[in-house]
Chain A
Amino acid sequence: MRDDMKPLNEEHLRECVAEAVAGGAPLEVAGQGTKRGFGRPAAADRRLELSALSGIRLYEPEELVMSAGAGTPLDEIEAALAAKRQMLAFEPPHLGRIYGHAQAGGTIGGVFACNLAGPRRFRAGAARDHLLGFRGVSGRAEIFKSGGRVVKNVTGYDLSKLVCGSFGTLAALSEVTFKVLPAPEKTWTVLVFGLGATEAAAAMAEAAGAPHEVTGLCHLPAAIAMESTVDYVAGAGTSVTAIRVEGPGPSVEHRAGALKAMFAGRGGVEELHGHRSGEFWTEIRDVQPLLGRDRALWRVSLPATDGGAWLDRAMAETGGDGYLDWAGGLVWLAVAPGDDAHAAAVRQGLNGGHATLMRAPDGVRRRVPVFEPEATPVAALSRRIKEGFDPKGVLNPGRMVEGV
């Protein structure tokens, strides 16, 4: 292992990449490294750490826009936004803890590179829907930019979408500019007790299709609910389906009331107020109910109405534990790692969806495709895109797909 590199500014970053290109020595691109366990292990023997490219460079609350160095800690961004009663509406999960990191949030560049989004995803979009522009260094050691700082922009190709979820394989980001939104004045959660997973998926579809503008819909089987730190959830003694409403005070109270009435006949109904709601959704967002480090963790995206039945089947076949988020469209499933983390059973019945192996020992992540394999023509296209940005394969080789 050669020395890691920690560039201090964008030009320095470009030089680091140029050196890697010249020496044919690929780089593992990292922010704070909190999510090194996410994706395949990169086939690189030097680490390029971007944490020094840090600091908020522009924040105009009335314009709903912020720019920051890609290495800025997510915590710092969220604190600055909270001071102005604003937020990242896509609710990025602080995933570090599932990989055993104390600094769970990582950097803002990492959030976009992994396209992370929390419970509000089904309504407010993913990280990619909020990135307005970026600057970065390609695998050609060229500084380039795309997008801008305004919300409405169709000037040229939307490369901001492309770098989101590219896991540092197309460019090392130096600066990101993103959209921010007002934080809701009030957050309440309606809890419905005792539904089975299939029933819960149907109930969540109903709530999402009602005009009550719900912004969170998740379902915890009894065993998972018991692990919650929120009293009303842990004490339920049965499964919990949670429905979040946010906004101005009178509106939230009215909508929570309407939702309680809607589900009153179908099981016990409770409500969580501001503080408890906050804690509960943070737990869901950060996958805390499945924190135990010994098990492999899958994140499965599928049509929302399939989620409940899929979870029941997958739990029965793998002996795992899991819960539903995104109105049923996202399943978190923890299973024994074994040789292949039950990949075949997990990748069944996804109806067009996809499964990502979020956490498993390195060996398992080398053997099992971490990301759902792409259809052949799409994979070929992705490979040509990678070559266009990084022809020598110096940025995070193998992180997404073996050999690319």
Chain B
Amino acid sequence: MQMPEPDRAALGQRSELVARFREFLPSDSVVVDEAALRAFECDGLTAYRQPPMIAVLPETTAEVSRMLKLCKAAGVKVVPRGAGTSLSGGALPLADGVLLGLAKLNRVLEIDYPNRAAVVQPGVTNLAISQAVEGEGFYYAPDPSSQIACSIGGNVAENSGGVHCLKYGLTTNNILGLEVVLMDGEVIRLGGRHLDQPGYDLIGVLTGSEGLLGVVTEVTVRILRRPEVARGLLVGFDSVEAGGACVADIIGAGIIPAGMEMMDRPAIHAAEAFCHPGYPLDAEALLIIELDGPAVEVDHLTEIVRGLCEKRGAVSLRVSASETERLNFWAGRKAAFPAVGRISPDYYCMDGTIPRARLPHVLARMAEMSGKYGLRVANVFHAGDGNLHPLILYDANEPGELERAEDFGADILRLCVEVGGVLTGEHGVGVEKRDLMGTMFTEVDLNQQQRLKCAFDPDGLLNPGKVFPTLHRCAELGRMHIHGGRMPFPDLPRF
């Protein structure tokens, strides 16, 4: 993975910019000290590290706006950062860029229960939103496993999901309004407590835009009433195929569970050893199904789902009898990543989505690849929606293993696309998958996406080097014809 050569002109403006930032920010909000900058040098994708030129930590929208205006005028790049938990390197700093940390914008501004909405600043963590409204029996539905740490601003930028997305949607389906600062410092407000926007759906494209289009400074989210009852089923199967077929049976019967997650044998064993949730160690595949809603409904559906699992030859089946037991079922799944971390010095987490029916084929091909690369894989996935998280186990101290793991991961993602799926289901493209974008999109498709970027940020200063394999210039994209992907100005730096 290659990042661009730092721009000397930008580096030369460092002290001038620092002085200008300090005119309106307290000095501890403008970080220049080398040791302190190292705190920002990577996000959750720790294989890539790069301290920023400067880090700025504003506390208000006006400060964000002023700071962006200065960077725009100076032609200096800006990388927004929430909590830094991105797994695709979306918040990886640039050596010649300013890191814009949003963690200090961390207040819940307003909760409007009758309209089922909450207005929060971007640095509020995902879990804190649910905690702020739980007293009245409400919650915020999208629940990434990182919810204790990740920020709602980062969730918007990554369109994050979690186990409840099958029934309750992703971030994009749960956002009502945004305040956004554009690269030129302009503050725009979109949506609010009403539904749907006139004009183009800018909230829709900003969500999942990985910090490339604008900086989110306020979010209005939809909050939901907590369901009366939630119940878990823990079902073991003697093959992944049987587990997969059971998932199809349940959906085919018209039931959309609140969550439906699957783990394969290596993941079951790692999780059991890590936190002892009582998983069946003789199963090849474990399905965790959660049903929620009114008690009568959950009772009724539990019996139907139980019947479907038995018909598919479940080797073990437990229904949670208490809230503690239900949470215990999830404990192993939610700790799957650290659990795998204990059985291998390093692991590389992939994130592709496939049409669910292709699961057996994809798992068989992955097993072949595992042999070819000589690296083990553990699988945990969102079975309900086909989002896979193969964890490739490797040892970074062994020469060549990191590269092998990366090649293996890229092969898995290509396979996902080949069977009709996509490169990333929830972690984003970031720097990690940007060079694979061409496996899913044509040059024409990518140029059209770039033109959207140009409408927001014509100079390409906001989080450049992420998502797109080549850095097209807005001016040349403005022409009507770009032939066969041939690049004008071949001597300009590309990524």
Contact = CB atoms under 8 A, between A and B. Distances in A.
Interface of A: 21, 60-65, 85, 115, 117, 121-122, 125-126, 128-129, 138, 140, 142-146, 148-162, 164-166, 170, 181-183, 185, 202, 205, 208-213, 247-248, 250-251, 254-255, 301-305, 326, 329-330, 350-354, 356, 371-372, 374-375, 377-379, 381-382, 384-389, 391, 400-401
A157 B201 contact: no
Given A250-B296, A255-B294, A329 B194 contact: yes
B264 interface: no
Interface residues of B, number: 96
Interface of B: 112-116, 137-138, 158-159, 161, 165-166, 169-170, 172-173, 177, 182, 186-190, 192-205, 207-209, 213, 225-228, 248, 251-252, 254-256, 293-294, 296-297, 300-301, 353-357, 382, 385-387, 420-429, 433, 437, 440-442, 444-446, 448-449, 451-456, 467, 477-478, 480
Contacts of B248: 62
A293 to B, nearest CB: 24
A156 B467 contact: yes
Given A115-B201, A155-B437, A384-B455, A148 B190 contact: no
A150 B254 contact: no
Contact of B451 (A145, A152, A161, A388): A388
B188 A148 contact: no
B250 to A, nearest CB: 9
B455 A387 contact: yes
Nearest to A115: B196
A304 B192 contact: no
B297 A303 contact: no
Nearest to B252: A62
B452 A385 contact: yes
Best-buried of B114, B226, B382, B446 by chain A (most CB within 10 Å): B114
A351 B441 CA distance: 41
A282 B56 CA distance: 54
B452 A211 contact: no
Contacts of B420: 148-150
A148 B422 contact: yes
A173 to B, nearest CB: 14
Nearest to A392: B480
Given A144-B442, A210-B225, A301 B194 contact: yes
Given A153-B422, A158-B207, A381-B188, A209 B353 contact: no
Given A115-B201, A122-B195, A254-B296, A209 B113 contact: yes
B226 A211 contact: yes
A211 B114 CA distance: 14
Contact of A129 (B115, B169, B193, B427): B169
A268 to B, nearest CB: 24
Nearest to A374: B199
Contacts of B194: 301-304, 329, 350-354
B251 A158 contact: no
Given A211-B228, A350-B194, 6 more contacts: A62-B357, A150-B386, A156-B449, A158-B204, A166-B200, A384-B454
Contacts of A209: 113-114, 116, 138, 225
A338 B139 CA distance: 47
B154 to A, nearest CB: 13
Contacts of A211: 137, 225-228, 294
